[in-house]
Amino acid sequence: MDPILSALAILAGILVFLVSGIWIYASLILVAVLSLMFIGDMNFGRVTDIFGSITLRSSGSWELSAIPLFVWMGELILLTDISSRIFRGLAPLVRRLPGGLVHSNVFGCTLFSAICGSSAATTATVGKITITELRKNSYHDSLILGSLAGSGSLGLLIPPSIVMIVYGVLAEVPVDRLFAAGVLPGLLLGFLFSLYIGANSLIRGGRSTQAAPLETVSEDRAGYTLFNSLLDLLPIAIIIGIVLGSIYTGVATPSEAAAIGTLSVLVLTVVTGAMNWSVFHKSLMSALYTSTMIFAVVVAASLISTALGYLHIPINLANMIVESNLTPGQFILIISVFFIFLGMILDGISIVVMSLPILFPIVTAMGIDPIWFGIYLVIMVELGQITPPVGFNLMIIHGMSGAPISKVAVYALPFCGLMCLGVLILYMAPAIVLYLPQYLFG
Amino acid sequence: QEFRWDLSTEYGPNSINTRTNQFFAERVSELTDGEVDITIHPGAALGYREKDHLFAVSDGAVPIATTVSGTLAGVDPIFLLSSLPFLAEDFEDVRSLLEIARPHYEDVFSQYGQQLIYAGWVDPSGVWAQDVMESTEDFEDLPIRTYDATGTRVLQELGAAPVQISWSDVVPQLATGSIEAVLTGVDGGAASGFWDYTDAFTQINYAMPLTFVHVNQDSYDALPEEYQQALMQAGQEAREWQAEQVVANQSAKYDELRDHGMTVAESVSPEFARSLSEAAQPIIDEWKERVGDRAGEILNEFNATE
Amino acid sequence: MADPRRSPIGMLDAAVTRVSRWFGYLAAALIVYVLCHILVEVTLRNVFSTSTFVLDEYVGYALAGIIFLSLAATHQAGHHIRVRLVSNTVQGRGKDAAELIANIAALVVCIMLFVSLYGIFDRNLRFGITSAGMSRTPLWIPQIAVVVGIAWYCVRLATNALVCVEALVLGPNREREPA
Ligand code: NA
Ligand code: NA
C-alpha cells in the first residue's frame, strides 16, 4: 500500500475512535492493532506477541523516571505558595507591558522550564495558577490559553529536557552541548510569544469584557516594590540554582536532576511550614494520576510507532524524500510538513525515536549540523504537543480550563505559526543555536 | 518479492554492526535474485530493545534480529563468554573462541525456536582517561564508567570505583569531572567526542563482544533450501566483511584520536597484561562454575589452540 | 426502583473502587521509592565513590509497576484523557450507551494486553529468565505488578460496563456516580 495512503488511513482511524469518546490510549492501541491486521496482513496472534513486549519495554524505560518526579515537583509547587509567588513576583514586572499579565505565562514557563524537563509538567504547573488569575482579570481565553500552550513548549527547549536526552543518545550528540544550544532559541521563542501578545493586545484590546477590574492581584498590595517582587521569586530561583548546580557540577546526571529538584522542593515546603499530610498525599496522588495518564499515551504511541515501522511507512516516506534530490532548505521544509503530520498523531519521544534512524543519515549527508538539527527537532516535537487531535499540552490545558480541545487548538494556532517563524529564523541564523555550545565547549 | 523480513537492531544506522547487516541484506538479495528482501530497522526503530529480541524472534513477532551477546546472559550464562575480560587477546582469538563455542550458541538458539545465521565482533574495549594506563595502580580509586556487570566486577577487583550510568549521561559526567574515565571501544568514544574530555586512550583489549544475527526457525524453514544456503553464505561473507571493517576502522580511529591531540597506547606491556588477567581470573572462575561442563570444554579446547 | 448503590452491581462497583484505590496507593509508594533510590545513588556516587549498580534496572521495574498498578485508580479518578464530543451532546440512555461502548473498547484492548503480558510473565517464570545486570533478578518477580495491574484494570472496565448496562436497563430516573 502507498505509504501516504496508509498514513492517512491510520490518521482517519484514530480520529474516528477519538471522536466516538474512547479513551485516547485505547483508540491508539486499537488503531495500531487494526492497521497491522488489515494493512500489514498479520494474524491476531502475531500482533499480540508484538505488542506484549513493546508494552513492557516502553513502560519500564529509565528515561521515563523523570516524568513522575517532575510532575510531583510541579504539584508540590502548586499546592504550596511557590507558584502563586512566581505569579505575584512576575505580575508587577510584566503589568506595564502591552498585554499585561498574559506575559506571566511566557515568563513563568521560561523560569519553570529551567528546572523541568517536560513541557507537559511546565504547562500544567504554570497554567494551574495563571489560568485562574488571568481569567479573574478578564483577559480573553484565546490569549490566555494560546500563550500558555505556546510557552509550555519552552519546557523542552530550555534545558533540562527529556527529548534532548533521547535525541542525544540516538544521534550520538553530546547532551550538554544540546542543552547549551537550546537556551538562546528558547529565549527567542519566548521573545516572539511576548511580542505577539503585546501586538495582539495593542490591536485587539486583549480583554474580553469592557468593565475589567484593574489588576486584581496588585490591588491590595500598595507599596509592593521591586524588592518584594524579587523576594517572591526567591524560592524558584533557589530551586533553579540547586537543579542547575547539581547538573553543572556533576553531582547529578541530567536524568537524575528531577529527583534533586523534587527533594529541594520537599525540603523547601517542610522548611517554610507548608508541608502537612494532606499536601503530601494530594500532591503525590495527583502526580500519580497525571503521570499514569501520560505513560498510558506514551505506551500507546510506542505501539503506533511500532505498527508504522512494520508497515515501512517512515522508511518509504524517507526514501521518497531522498530520491527527490533536494537542497537542505527544501529538505527542511518538506520534513517540517512530515513532522507536523507525525506530530498530529504521535507524541514527543515517539516522533524522535521513529524518525531519527531514517532521517539522521540524510541529515549528515546533507551537511546539516547535528546540534542544529536536534534543536530544530525539539521545536517540531513541541509543535506536535499543541496540534490536534493528539496534543498533550492541548489536553492538559483542556483539563485545567474546561475549554473544549478544539477551541484550545484554535487558540494555539498563532503560536504554532510563531514556532514555525522561529524555525525560519534559526535556519537563516544558525548561530543562535550554535554560538553557546561553541562558546562553552570550544 | 517472495519473502519480506524485518530485521530489528538497536545499533545506530552508522555503526559497523548495522552496516554489516546492510551488507548481509544486500548479499542475500543478490544471491536469491531479490526473492528474500530484508529491511533493516536500526536504532531500535521497531520498538524492541536487544533484551526483547530472543523472545520476539522466538514468537515470530520479528523474523530476524541483531543481538549483542551480553544481553542474553539472563537466558543462559554461556553468552557471557565473549565478554569475559582479557580472555581473547586479539581478533584471531575471538575467531577461534567463536568457532569453538558456536555449537553451544546454536543449541540455545534452537532451544528458543530460532537459527543462528552469523556472529560478528567489534573492536575491543579500552580505557579513555587523562593518562595512559601503565599498571594496575593507575586503576586505584579511578571513577570509571562501565557498561555491564562483568566490567563492574573486574574494575572493583582492580581497585577502581566503577559506576554504571546510562550512555547519555557519560559526557556530562566526564565534562564535570564526576567520572574520570570510561571503559569502551575506540569507536564508541570517538562518536561521542571523548577527546574533549580525556587525553589518552589505552587499548587494554578488555573484551570483544559478539553480536548475533538470528532468525525465526519457521521463517527459515519456509525458505526453499537454496535460499537457506544463500542466507548462510551471505552470513559467512558478512562476518568476514565486518572483520575487515573492524581492523580498518580501528587504525583509522587511532589516527583520528591522534589528530585530536590524544595519546594512544595501542597495546600494554606484558606484565600489565598479566596482572589484568589475574584480576579477571576470579570472574572467569565464577563464570565456569555457573555454566558447568560446557565452559570447561570450551576453555580447554581454546587453550589447546593457543 | 432500587437504590443502585444497594444493587449487587452497585456493591461490586463500590468494592472495585476501593481496591483500585489501594493499588493506587501502592503505585504512589513506588514513586517515593524511585525518588529515594535515585537520591541514594547520587549520594553513594558523590560521597562514597560507589553505586547501587542497579539504578536503571530497578527504577524501570518500579515505573512499570507505577503505570499498571494505577491504571484503574487513574481511570476512576477521571484522569485518562478522551474527547468528550459525543458524551457532551447525547443525554440519558444515549450517554449510557456511549459510555458502554467506550468501556468495552478499552476492555478489549486491555484483555489483549493482559493475555500478551501474562504470556511473557509465564515464560520468564518457566524458563527462569533473569536480568543480565549485576542483580540477576528473576524477571517474573517485578512483572507480578504488571500482570496484576492490567488484570485489575480489566476488572475495573468490566464493572464499569456492567454499571452502564444496569443504567440502560433501569432507565434514566436515578442518580449514579460517574465512574
Ligand atoms: Na526544560
Ligand atoms: Na499533536
Q: Identify from B155, B164, B289 which residue to disrupt to test chain C contact, counting C C-beta atoms within 10 A and taking the largest count.
A: B164
DSSP character for A62?
G
pLDDT surpassing 90 at residue B255: yes
Set of chain A residues whose Cβ sits within 8 Å of the Cβ of C110? 26
- Mean residue pLDDT of chain A comes to 82
Tell me which ligand sits closest to the C-alpha of residue A258. Answer: 1
In a domain, C52, yes or no: yes
- What is the mean pLDDT of the segment spanning B125-153? 90
Q: Which residue of C has its CA nearest to A391?
A: C81
Interatomic CA distance for residues A251 and C47, integer angstroms: 10
Quote the cell numbers at residue A11.
Answer: 490518521
Question: A223 falls in which pLDDT band (50, 70, 90)?
Answer: low
The amino acid present at A289, given as its one-letter code, is: Y
The amino acid present at A256, given as its one-letter code, is: E
Set of chain A residues whose Cβ sits within 8 Å of the Cβ of C81? 23-24, 293, 297, 395, 399
pTM over 0.90: no
Residues 6+ apart with CB under 8 A from A175: A164, A165, A168, A169, A254, B168, B169, B171, B172
- Least CB–CB distance from C120: residue in A56, A263, A404: A56
Quote the cell numbers at residue C173.
Answer: 430516573
Domain span at C134:
4-170
Tell me what ipTM this predicted complex has: 0.87
Question: A222 falls in which pLDDT band (50, 70, 90)?
Answer: low
Report the alpha-carbon angle A257-A258-A261, nearest 5: 85
> Is the CB of C115 inside 8 Å of chain A's CB atoms?
yes
Interatomic CA distance for residues A24 and A394, integer angstroms: 13
Interatomic CA distance for residues A132 and A147, integer angstroms: 14
pLDDT digits 0-9 by tens, A42-68: 989 999 999 998 898 888 877 678 878
DSSP character for A65?
G
Residues 6+ apart with CB under 8 A from A168: A174, A175, A178, A374, B168
pLDDT digits 0-9 by tens, A155-214: 888 887 877 877 876 677 777 788 889 999 999 999 999 999 888 888 876 554 333 444
Q: In this predicted structure, what is the pLDDT of residue A215? A: 47
pLDDT surpassing 90 at residue B223: yes
pLDDT digits 0-9 by tens, A80-90: 777 778 888 88
| B200-202, strands of its sheet edge to edge | B161-163, B143-145, B181-185, B125-129, B200-202, B263-265
Question: C179 falls in which pLDDT band (50, 70, 90)?
Answer: very low
- What is the mean pLDDT of the segment spanning C152-158? 96
Question: B222 falls in which pLDDT band (50, 70, 90)?
Answer: very high
3-state secondary structure of A373: helix
Residue A221 vs residue C46, higher pLDDT: C46
pLDDT digits 0-9 by tens, A384-401: 888 877 677 888 888 788
Residue A405 vs residue A351, higher pLDDT: A405
B168/A441 touch (CB, cutoff 8 Å), yes or no: no
The total number of structural domains that make up chain C: 1
Cis peptide before A389, with omega less than 30 degrees from 0? yes
- Mean residue pLDDT of chain C comes to 87
How many Cβ atoms are within 10 Å of A211's Cβ, its own excluded?
Answer: 6
Set of chain C residues whose Cβ sits within 8 Å of the Cβ of B209? none
**Least Cα separation, residue B27 to chain A (angstroms):** 20
Quote the cell numbers at residue B202.
Answer: 589505552
Tell me which ligand sits closest to the C-alpha of residue A392. Answer: 2
Set of chain A residues whose Cβ sits within 8 Å of the Cβ of B62? 50
Q: In this predicted structure, what is the pLDDT of residue A205? A: 64
Low-confidence winner among A163-172, B70-79, B103-112, B291-300 (lowest mean pLDDT): A163-172
From residue A158, alpha-carbon distances to A135, A179, C163 in Å are: 27, 7, 47
Q: In this predicted structure, what is the pLDDT of residue C24? A: 96
Q: In this predicted structure, what is the pLDDT of residue A207? A: 53
- Residue matched to cell numbers 472496565: C157
- What is the mean pLDDT of the segment spanning B38-60? 89
Q: In this predicted structure, what is the pLDDT of residue A218? A: 45
Residue B193 vs residue B144, higher pLDDT: B144
Which residue spans within A246-381 are E strands per DSSP?
none
Q: How many CB pairs under 8 A join B and C?
A: 39
> Is the CB of B173 inside 8 Å of chain C's CB atoms?
no
Q: In this predicted structure, what is the pLDDT of residue A427? A: 94
For A75, list phi and psi in degrees, rounded to 5. -65, -40
3-state secondary structure of A207: strand
- Residue matched to cell numbers 489501594: C22
In a domain, C46, yes or no: yes
- What is the mean pLDDT of the segment spanning C113-117? 95
Q: How much of chain C is helix, strand and coil, in % rounded to 5?
A: 75, 0, 25
- The alpha carbon of A285 and the centre of ligand 1 are apart by a number of angstroms equal to 23
Low-confidence winner among A130-144, A201-215, A365-379 (lowest mean pLDDT): A201-215
DSSP character for A64?
G
C-beta separation of A352 from A342 below 8 A:
no
Output b/e per residue, B191-228; b: 16+ Cβ within 10 A: bbebbebbebbbbbbbbbbbbbbbbbbebbeebeeebb
**Least Cα separation, residue C45 to chain B (angstroms):** 8
- What is the mean pLDDT of the segment spanning A127-149? 85
Q: In this predicted structure, what is the pLDDT of residue A89? A: 83
From residue B83, alpha-carbon distances to A98, A386, B208, B209 in Å are: 65, 46, 6, 5
How many Cβ atoms are within 10 Å of A267's Cβ, its own excluded?
Answer: 13
3-state secondary structure of A139: strand
pLDDT surpassing 80 at residue B246: yes
DSSP character for A208?
S
Interatomic CA distance for residues A372 and A331, integer angstroms: 14
DSSP character for C138?
B
Set of chain A residues whose Cβ sits within 8 Å of the Cβ of C106? 22-23, 26
3-state secondary structure of A51: helix
In a domain, C77, yes or no: yes
C-beta separation of A193 from A150 below 8 A:
yes
- The alpha carbon of A382 and the centre of ligand 2 are apart by a number of angstroms equal to 9
Interatomic CA distance for residues B89 and B81, integer angstroms: 14
From residue A335, alpha-carbon distances to A324, A329, A366, A416, B285 in Å are: 13, 10, 13, 16, 54
In a domain, C179, yes or no: no
Quote the cell numbers at residue B9.
Answer: 537492531
Set of chain A residues whose Cβ sits within 8 Å of the Cβ of C34? 65, 68-69, 259
Residue A79 vs residue C85, higher pLDDT: A79
- Residue matched to cell numbers 506530530: A343
Set of chain C residues whose Cβ sits within 8 Å of the Cβ of A21? 82-87, 98-99, 101-102
In a domain, C178, yes or no: no
> Is the CB of C130 inside 8 Å of chain B's CB atoms?
yes
Q: In this predicted structure, what is the pLDDT of residue C5? A: 56
- The alpha carbon of A48 and the centre of ligand 2 are apart by a number of angstroms equal to 27
Interatomic CA distance for residues A295 and A331, integer angstroms: 33
Q: In this predicted structure, what is the pLDDT of residue C4? A: 54
Q: Which residue of A has its CA nearest to C46?
A: A251
Q: In this predicted structure, what is the pLDDT of residue B10? A: 87
Q: In this predicted structure, what is the pLDDT of residue A221? A: 54
Cross-strand partners of B129: B200
Give A437's Cβ-side CA count (13 Å radius): 24
pLDDT digits 0-9 by tens, C55-73: 888 999 999 999 999 999 9
Interatomic CA distance for residues C16 and C26, integer angstroms: 15
Interatomic CA distance for residues B14 and A409, integer angstroms: 39
- What is the mean pLDDT of the segment spanning C13-33? 95
Residue B157: alpha-carbon gap to chain centroid: 22
pLDDT digits 0-9 by tens, B11-23: 877 788 999 999 9
> Is the CB of C26 inside 8 Å of chain A's CB atoms?
no
Interatomic CA distance for residues C128 and C124, integer angstroms: 6
- Least CB–CB distance from A315: residue in B39, B59, B175: B39
Q: In this predicted structure, what is the pLDDT of residue C69? A: 97
> Is the CB of C46 inside 8 Å of chain B's CB atoms?
yes
Q: DSSP string spanning chain B? A: --EEEEEE--S-TTSHHHHHHHHHHHHHHHHTTT-EEEEEE-TTTTS--HHHHHHHHHHTSSSEEEEEGGGGTTT-GGGGGGGSTTS--SHHHHHHHHHHHHHHHHHHHHHTTEEEEEEEE-PPEEEEESS---SGGGGTT-EEE-SSHHHHHHHHHTT-EEE---HHHHHHHHHTTS--EEEEEHHHHHHTTGGGT-SEEE-------EEEEEEEHHHHHTS-HHHHHHHHHHHHHHHHHHHHHHHHHHHHHHHHHHHTT-EEE-S--HHHHHHHHHHHHHHHHHHHHHHTHHHHHHHHHHHHH-
> Is the CB of B232 inside 8 Å of chain A's CB atoms?
no
Q: In this predicted structure, what is the pLDDT of residue C134? A: 79
| H-state helical runs in C48-139 | 55-69, 71-76, 85-89, 92-127
Interatomic CA distance for residues C93 and B4, integer angstroms: 49
Q: Is C75 exposed, middle or buried (0-12, 13-18, 19+ CB in 10 A)?
A: buried
pLDDT surpassing 90 at residue A419: yes
